[in-house]
Amino acid sequence: MNFIEDYPFSKLCALKTIETTSFFCELNEINQIEEIVSFSKKKNLQILIIGEGTNIVPTKTFQGLVVFNKLLGIKKIDDVTIEVASGENWHEFVEWTVKHKMFGLENLALIPGTVGAGPIQNIGAYGSEISSSIKKITCFNLETRSVQVLNASECGFGYRTSIFKDCSDYIILSVTFQFKTDPKINYSYSSLEDEINKNNINKDNLSHRDIFNLVSKIRKKVLPDYKEFPNVGSFFKNVVLTKEEFNKLDITEEIPVYLEGDNIKISAAFLIEKFGWKGFREGSVGISDQHALVLVTYDETSGEEILQFSNKIINQILFMTGIKLEIEPTLI
Ligand SMILES: Cc1cc2nc3c(=O)[nH]c(=O)nc-3n(C[C@H](O)[C@H](O)[C@H](O)COP(=O)(O)OP(=O)(O)OC[C@H]3O[C@@H](n4cnc5c(N)ncnc54)[C@H](O)[C@@H]3O)c2cc1C
C-alpha cells in the first residue's frame, strides 16, 4: 500500500484549508485494513477514515493517518434489503434506489458524501433521516481489531448524531438498508409542500421519483454549490431544548419556535440571520448570502480562522439570547 507523508486536506475536503495530515492512504479493499492498522501502530498514528470530506473541518495539522474510503459495491440481499459498501456516493445510491423502486431515501437526494458517512451524523433533510431505512451496519472495530455488526437500534441515532459521531473506534464498511415496497410519500416538510403547491402538482399522483426530483430542484436553488463556494452544508445545528431548558432562557427577542415531540426546536438559521451574519464576510471566511447556516471559505484559510469566525457567531448569539449554537460538522 502507498502511505503518503504530509498530505494536504485541500485535496480531501470541501473547505479550502491550508491544514495537512501527517500520513494519507486509500482504502480500496477490506483486506487492506490489517496493513493500515499495522502501519498506524508502528508509527503511533491515530486513524481517521473519511469519505468525500464534505462534513469535516480540519482545524490544525492532523498527527495521524487519514484513510480515504474507496470501498465500492451494491449487493442485493433480497427484494427489500440492500447492503452497500461505505465508499459509494450517497446521491448516486439514492437515485439507484428510486430506479429500483425501493422507497424511503428519496427525500435525502443530493446530500453530498458517501454512504458510510451517512450514519455518522444520521443525515437528514426534508422531513426524513437515513436511520429510518437502516437495518444494520457492518464496521471494523479498531479497538478490538475485528469486524462487528450493529443493528440500527444499537447505533444511538438521534438528531444529527449517533454513537459514531464522537467515537473514532469504528470504520464503517457497509450499511444494510431495509426498504418498504409501498411507503407513503413524505411531503410533510413545509418547503417541499410549498414547491408542490407552487407547481400545481396533484399530490395524489406524486411518485417517489417526483419527490427525488423536487428535493434536488429545491436544494440546487437554496444551497450554494460547495464546489464553487467551498462549504460543509449546515455549519450549525438547530437547537433542541427541553421545555424546562427553554423556560430558563431569558429571551427578550421575538424568536419563532417549533414543537418537536416534547422538545422545543429553534432555527439556528433564524438566529444567525437575525443577528446580521447572513452574507457577512471577514477575511477568507463568511456566511453565505444564500443560506444563513452555511459557512463559506473564499480563499485558502487556516482552521483557526474558521473556528475564530464561528466562535464569534456562537458567542454573540449566546450573549444576546442565552442560546448556545453547536457546530454540526466534525472538527479535526
Ligand atoms: C452543500 C452541502 C449540503 C449538505 N446537506 C446536508 C443535509 O441536507 N443533511 C445532512 O445531514 N448533511 C448535509 N451535509 C453534510 C454532509 O453531506 C454529510 O454529513 C455527509 O454524510 C458527509 O459525507 P462525506 O463522505 O463527505 O463524509 P466526510 O466529510 O468525509 O466525513 C464526515 C465524518 O464521518 C466520518 N466518516 C466518514 N466515513 C466514515 C466511515 N466509512 N466509517 C466511519 N466514519 C466515517 C469521518 O471521520 C468524519 O467524522 C451537506 C454538506 C454540503 C457540503
> Rounded distance, CA 138 to CA 150, Å?
6
**Predicted confidence pLDDT, tens digits, the chain (332 residues):** 999 999 999 999 999 999 999 999 999 999 999 999 999 999 999 999 999 999 999 999 999 999 999 999 999 999 999 999 999 999 999 999 999 999 999 999 999 999 999 999 999 999 999 999 999 999 999 999 999 999 999 999 998 999 999 888 999 999 999 998 777 899 989 889 999 998 888 888 899 999 999 999 999 999 999 999 999 999 999 999 998 888 888 776 778 888 888 899 999 999 999 999 999 999 999 999 999 999 999 999 999 999 999 999 999 999 999 999 999 999 99
Question: What pLDDT was estimated at residue 19?
Answer: 97
Look at ligand 1, atom 1, and give the residue with the nearest C-alpha.
Answer: 233
Q: What is the pLDDT of residue 18?
A: 96
* Residue 53 backbone zone (phi > 0: left; psi -120 to 50: alpha; other: beta): left
Q: How many CB atoms lie within 10 A of CB 274?
A: 17
Cα 86 to ligand 1 centroid, rounded to whole Å: 12
**How far does residue 55's CA lie from ligand 1's centre (Å)?**
4
Regarding the beta carbon of 297 and ligand 1, being less than 6 Å apart is answered no
- What DSSP string runs through 276-332? T-TT-EETTEEE-SS-TTEEEE-S-B-HHHHHHHHHHHHHHHHHHHS----B-SEE-
Report pLDDT for 258.
85
Residue 328: active-site member: yes
Q: Is 174 in the pocket of ligand 1 (CB under 6 A)?
A: no
Domains annotated for the chain, with CATH where assigned, are 4-69 (3.30.43.10), 74-178 (3.30.465.10), 190-222 (no CATH), 231-331 (3.90.78.10)
Give residue 250's pLDDT: 74
Active site residue 160: yes
Which residue in the block uniquely carries the three cell numbers 495537512?
Answer: 20
DSSP β-bridge partners for residue 258: 265
CA-based nearest residue to 224, from 270, 272, 289, 141: 289
Whole-number Å distance, alpha carbon 119 to ligand 1 midpoint, is 9
Full-model pTM: 0.94
Helix (H, G, I), strand (E, B) or coil at 99: helix
> Which residues on neighbouring strands pair with residue 327, listed in sequence order?
236
Catalytic residue among 131, 133, 160, 305: 160
